[in-house]
Structure formats: structure tokens, C-alpha cells
Chains A and B, each alone.
Chain A
């Protein structure tokens, strides 16, 4: 168990390094120059050179990369010239809003997805199964921004039940969280359905039936926990993807989270904020995956004892 955690953390360090390197290259490969954006189109050549030097952008790429990695290791994520403050400070200011959004979306997705998946998987091929399958395919097929716009049209503009954008009250959270949860609901429902249907074909389910249990007792006493093992792993990975998906949803709903910050930072060619936000998200994903692995080990004694 301890060995598994240490192993996972070591892998996590490599993941973080990979993410840091990748985003370093990507922001620099993208067209545009932070100095031009900061100084405007009328800046002179010498003004631009001066700013390049103060941002360290005049040095060779390799040297920039090494000093960037060194800074990151010291938890120094640089100064944002666009915002005029430490980049990580700006990122952390936006984090709570994104956490509100993704946690709410995750809770919705887990509750709705598990319920739908269980209903469908308990009787594969039944009417409920077919209805749920059709719904989940639809949920997964529509792009998030389109779902968001449609929900705004119906619930904000037509029915006037909920605010269309912004923050301030729990009602503001509903539409963006629901929008963000939709594809996630579909993933969880489909996976739960498949996993449960597979589990119900296991020999030990037949054994449970041979003890004279009712189908409900078999489902809750023997099938459900075991069928959740693959679901937990995927949820851990997908919550990370959800933080990424939040970028689009936050922009549709003007939600002041990490996603909208990153979009603005990219528009302003602010390398430090983009890098800081990416590293933070990567860190969150690593931690979530570790938590998912621990939860799986809790659910499956074979993994628990196998790793010790």
C-alpha cells in the first residue's frame, strides 16, 4: 500500500515535469509576442528589445527552459506582466470559482450517472437500458458550448428561472455546472452500465443467487461494489478532464474561474499565467488520480494486498 502511494507520487512528479515542459514549448510555439501585446503596435524596436531582455525572452530557448524549471522547483512561477502581480497569485484567486463549478458538476454527474447506469445495467437489453443508452449517446454527442447555449435559451431567456451568466448566488452555479456535467454524466452512466452488466454475469453472482437472495440483495450486496471499481478509476481521470472542459463552459457563462483566466492570458500572451495555471491543473489531476487509485484499493482487496 505505502509502496503503491510512493510509486504513484514518483509517476506524478514525471507527469508534472512533462506538463511543465509541454506547456513551456506550446506557449512559445504559438504566434504572437508578449512584448508587442504589452507595448502596443506603436512601440519602437529598442523598447521591444528592452522588454524582451527584462522578460528574459532574449536568451536562447534552452537557457529559458532550464531557468524556468529551476524556478518551478522553487515554487516560483514568475511575475505576470499583463496583470502586474505574481502569476500564481492570480491563478489561485480564480481557483475557488473553478472548484465550485467542477465539484458541483462532479457531484451531479456521479449521482445522475451512477443512477442511470445502475438502472440500465441491472437489466441489460430492457426498456430502461435502451432509453438510457439513447440518452447518453445524445449527451455525449452534443458539444458542451451548444448544450450551454441551449440551456441558457430555455431556462434563462424563455422560462426566466435562472440567471444566464455571472456569479453571486447559488442559482448562478446551476446552468454552468449542469452544462459541464452533461458529457460526464454520459461517461459515468455508460461505464457503470457496462461494468454492472458484466459483473452480473460473474460466477459469484450466480453463487449469491444460489443462496436464495432476491435480485435486489444480489445487486446491492454483491454486484454494485465490484462493478464500481472500474468506474472510480475513470471518474478520477475524468474529473481532471472536467477542469479542462471548464475553460469552454466558463467562457460561455462568464464564470470567473481558471478557464476564463487562461483564455485571457493566452490572448495577452502572458506565458507565466498560462504556465502556472497549467501546472496547477496538472497537479490537481495527479492528486485526483492518486485518490482514485486509493479508493479502488479500498474497494478491491486484491489490489490492496497485492501491492504490500
Chain B
């Protein structure tokens, strides 16, 4: 894993508007995703989200279900749900992908930006051998068959699948959950992408397998100098591999900054509540504090700060005024009117 110090240094460097040449690999700028709702209404599931994914850095994207985190990742990939409308900018090496034509977006998918999906059993085609699925991008790029096979073996070996020559001939249902997710990762790596989008990559796996898959992702990210956007509802997952975190709630960004700082001294009451809700196994502090109330959904987002009905610090201003995301300390951004008053955990 990359040392935390390096991550912080990079974070501080990117915090000051860097020149375009060594700017972030991906800059999400005021992304809005609207889905068709009932009776012709539109629901904003992502509401003005902005953050950067720097080169060779893992960014953790945290939120409860309905926070818009997965929708954000799918928008980056260019595969939003049917009927969705997108606005804002997705700057990929400075090129706005939202303005790009479909052919260009397709060319980016799989080869520049690749995705690892949540449930590998569902995300792998049940009727094709994994070699065929992993080798699909190189095959479509007209690599000779022997070359494709060699690459598949190499990729499977890379992601820690034992006996790759034999396992490549397996169908997805013949593999264990962990091996399936490794095959999925190999598939994502097949097109040599510069950015990996990992959508809850360990949620569908056994607990014992989860940490090994996370370690694998972190190793590959560090070795290849990949950028990675790790989407998870699980704070522990993100705290293990993320150098930076972005916390989302009801379609908006609450807080972003270096992972360690954000998790140690949250600058948003929602982050603080999330941190408190994680049970600390090792210290046996019995019960964690669960978050009070139900998460707000984008369909009926409260006025003002979306978190105010569940916030212990809520005041009149929170009910009326949507907080801006502002820099509350060097490299630390928060969307709380009273960020400076959030008790450190």
C-alpha cells in the first residue's frame, strides 16, 4: 500500500489549482444526474457533485444506498440508467467525456476506464468461459489468438488465480466467489486502463475473502500506478485502501479530503456519525452508535442541508440554506455550515 504520507502530500499538491498538464486524471465538475420519476417529474440522484481523482491515487467514495455514489461511478463510465440525463463536466485528461460522441465514449470504456462490478457471479456471463470474457477486449483489438491466451494467463496469474492455464477454461459458476472476483479484476485490467472504477468490489464476498481482494486491488493499483475510484458503503473498506475519501449523502458531497484526516477528525456531522457507527472489533467497545433516522432519498430530499433531520447539530440555517462545499482547512472540504464545530471523534 502507498504510505499515507505520500497520499497527503499529493492531496495538498492537488488542492491548489494545478496546471492542466499534471492535473488530476479525472475531474468531476458539478455533475448532475436526473432520472425520470413518477408523473413526468425528474429526480436528481446526483446533485452537483465535484471532486478529483488524481493520478496513481485511490479515492474512496462513501455513502449509504441512495447517496448517488454508484450513479456517479456509472456516469463516469458512461453507462447511466436508461432515461437518465447528465449535465456538468467529466474531465478525463482534460477532455470532457459528457460532450464526447458515443464512439469516443465506447473507446474509453474498458481501455482507459474499466469497471469492477459488485457481484461477480451476476456480472460474468454464465455461458462463456472466463478466458473468453477476460480476453474479449484484446480479442476485439485484433490481437492474435495465441497472444490473447498468453495475456489471459498472465492476467489470471497476476490477480492470484492458481493454475491459470486450467482455470481459464472454467465457467463462472465453477469458481469460488473469491476467484470469480479475481477473474473480474483480471477482466478489468485486460484493456490496460488508467482508471479503475470498483463498485462495492467486496460486498458480495465472504468476510475472509474481502480483505484479500482489497489487498490485491491496492497492490495492483500501487504497482501499475493506476487511479482507482473505490465505491463502498463500508467505511472500513475505504479506510484500508483509500488515500482520499469523498463522502456522499442524498446525491451530494458532504465532505472530501485525505482519508486519514477525514476519518480521524471529520469536518461534517454525517462523516462523524458514520465513523461512530462502525463497530471497532479489536478494542471490543461493545456496541457502536448506529446512525439515527432513515437516510434521505434523492426523491424526497429535505430542504436546506439534506442531513439536517438526522443531525445532532442542526439549527435553523441548516433547514433553510443548502450548504456550499467549502475548504475548511488546507485540503479539507466540507458541506456543513458549522464544519468548524464538528466534534472530532
A: residues with CB less than 8 A from B are: 202-204, 206-214, 217, 221-222, 225-226, 299-302, 305
| Contact in complex: A302, B140 (CB < 8 Å) | no
Within the assembled complex, what's the spacing in Å between the Cα atoms of A202 and B115? Answer: 16
In the bound complex, residues from chain A placing their C-beta under 8 Å from that of B107 are: 212
**A169, chain B: closest CB distance, angstroms:** 43
Nearest opposing residue in chain B for A223, CB measure: B125
B75 on interface, CB distance cutoff 8 Å: no
Map CB proximity to A onto B114-137 as digits: 1 under 8 Å, 0 otherwise. Answer: 110101001111111000000011
| Contact in complex: A300, B77 (CB < 8 Å) | no
Nearest opposing residue in chain B for A228, CB measure: B127
Map CB proximity to A onto B62-96 as digits: 1 under 8 Å, 0 otherwise. Answer: 00000000000000010100000000000000000
* Other 13 A-B pairs with CB < 8 A, given A204-B126, A212-B108, A213-B106: A207-B124, A209-B109, A210-B114, A211-B114, A211-B140, A212-B107, A212-B109, A212-B110, A212-B137, A213-B140, A300-B127, A301-B126, A305-B171
29 pairs, A vs B, C-beta closer than 8 Å: A203-B119, A203-B122, A204-B124, A204-B126, A206-B123, A207-B115, A207-B124, A208-B125, A209-B109, A210-B77, A210-B110, A210-B114, A210-B117, A211-B109, A211-B137, A211-B140, A212-B106, A212-B108, A212-B109, A212-B110, A212-B137, A217-B140, A222-B125, A300-B126, A300-B127, A301-B171, A301-B173, A302-B171, A305-B171
Map CB proximity to A onto B193-212 as digits: 1 under 8 Å, 0 otherwise. Answer: 00000000000000000000
| Contact in complex: B171, A210 (CB < 8 Å) | no
Supposing A212-B108, A226-B125, A301-B126 touch, asked if A207 and B191 sit within 8 A by C-beta, the answer is no
In the bound complex, residues from chain B placing their C-beta under 8 Å from that of A210 are: 77, 79, 109-110, 114-115, 117
Query: Shortest 4 CB-CB distances between A and B: which pairs?
Result: A212-B109, A212-B110, A211-B110, A203-B122
| Contact in complex: A305, B127 (CB < 8 Å) | no
Supposing A209-B109, A301-B173, A305-B171 touch, asked if A226 and B126 sit within 8 A by C-beta, the answer is yes
Within the assembled complex, what's the spacing in Å between the Cα atoms of A226 and B79? Answer: 22
| Contact in complex: B123, A203 (CB < 8 Å) | yes
Q: How many A-B residue pairs have CB under 8 A?
A: 73
B276 on interface, CB distance cutoff 8 Å: no
Supposing A301-B173, A302-B173 touch, asked if A209 and B79 sit within 8 A by C-beta, the answer is yes
CB contacts under 8 Å to A, within B249-308, are none
**B229, chain A: closest CB distance, angstroms:** 14
Counting chain A CB atoms within 10 Å of each CB, which of B107, B110, B124 scores highest?
A: B110
Within the assembled complex, what's the spacing in Å between the Cα atoms of A135 and B184? Answer: 42
* A203 interface neighbour in B106, B117, B137, Cβ under 8 Å: B117
**A201, chain B: closest CB distance, angstroms:** 10
Nearest opposing residue in chain A for B171, CB measure: A301
Within the assembled complex, what's the spacing in Å between the Cα atoms of A203 and B137? Answer: 18
In the bound complex, residues from chain B placing their C-beta under 8 Å from that of A301 are: 126-127, 171, 173
**B273, chain A: closest CB distance, angstroms:** 32
